[in-house]
Amino acid sequence: MSDAVGVAVLGGCAAWSLISATARAGRPEGVLLAVLAVAAGYAGGRIAGGLAPVATSCAVAAGGLCLAVAAPQAVPAPNTATPLGDVGATAALLVLSTGALCCAAWAARSRRRRITLHLLSAGSVVVAAVAGSAAGTAASCGVVLCSLAAARLRHRAAGLVGLGVITAAVAGLGIALADGSLSPGPASFLEGELSERRVQLWHRALDLAVADPALGAGPGRFEEFSGVSPQYPVPDARPHSAVLQVAAEQGFIGLALLTAAYCWLLYVLWRSTRSTPVVLAAGAALTAVAVLATVGNALSFTAVTAGAGLLAGIATAVPLGDEPPDDDEAAPESVRGGLG
């Protein structure tokens, strides 16, 4: 059932981008590539995660760390060296790597391996700091803390709802800043942190969304209508907010489909047969990527969208062998020692 919902949601995202592009002479290739990357990553994660959950998680983490350290050259996108360029992608890859290591830790059978893998996940925070990614350091640290806290959380639904609320709050704050409805104090602080240039892009994206709420300006056409001074050109034709970009280019139907895709990820994590710590570690990493995408262009990088799909697939795979219980000491004897 959950897979059928995912096919419907991702198919709807692809179909609506084509409809909007046809009506507005847009370029849907970027959206289609992102949808394909998520779908392919999810399918690959489900297969490989079922065969070897620990090894697959470690391989994904190693690949993400290598790409993040080698960025921007290894994570190609238009003009990634500009101030609004590869920073979000680097942070997102570091977060996904941390989340994969946390999933590997909770999937390990022995306590020693769990401790070792959790130490490696903490090491990815150090890598983020050395790489100079403040956002990646903070987000990766948050993922590690959420993973450790998940060991004591018995009801994954509460944790996943909390993660969803965090994403919605950050997205709402970004829209309020673009709309100018925040009070002067918080607005000035956020504008100073995000840069006046980026907030201007957000203002224009929201104006485009309001001007054509049904179809938007067309996928890939934001730069044509950005209205930004030639002195401050848009580095990669994007407003650096996934929420506002989709609303501006595909209207509010496209935004609703993007929201449905994120809700579907939370839903499949809730339905997953994996242990609660694995699910919440993956959920924390995916939420951190979603938050980064609301203030940057992280989802414009194929490596990030494919990595998000891989992590979601790993966290929802059905391992061939039995996975360790959430708490060895609290588990019943029939689970710890087998039915015999």
Cis peptide preceding 72, ω within 30 of 0: yes
Locate 122 and state its tokens: 């903490």
Report pLDDT for 42.
96
Walk along the chain (340 residues) in steps of 10 and give the mean pLDDT of each run.
89 95 90 95 94 94 89 45 55 95 93 93 92 89 94 88 95 92 87 83 91 90 69 60 93 95 95 93 96 90 94 91 50 33
Element (H, E) at 188: helix 184-194
Q: Which of these, 298, 314, 168, lies nearest to 242 by C-alpha position? A: 298
Report pLDDT for 237.
58
Locate 271 and state its tokens: 């339905």
Q: Which of these, 236, 253, 256, 252, lies nearest to 298 by C-alpha position? A: 236
Task: Report how far Cα 225 is from the mean position of its chain's Cα atoms.
Answer: 27
Note whether 60 and 311 are within 8 A (CB): yes
Q: Residue holding tokens 């391992």?
A: 319
Measure the CA–CA gap between 286 and 53, rounded to whole angstroms: 18
Report pLDDT for 336.
34
Measure the CA–CA gap between 199 and 156, rounded to whole angstroms: 36
Report pLDDT for 23.
92
DSSP output for 81-96: TSTTSTHHHHHHHHHH
Report pLDDT for 45.
95
Q: What angle do CA 148, 299, 63 make, to 5 degrees?
A: 60
Q: Which of these, 279, 290, 340, lies nearest to 315 by C-alpha position? A: 279
Measure the CA–CA gap between 172 and 328, rounded to whole angstroms: 40
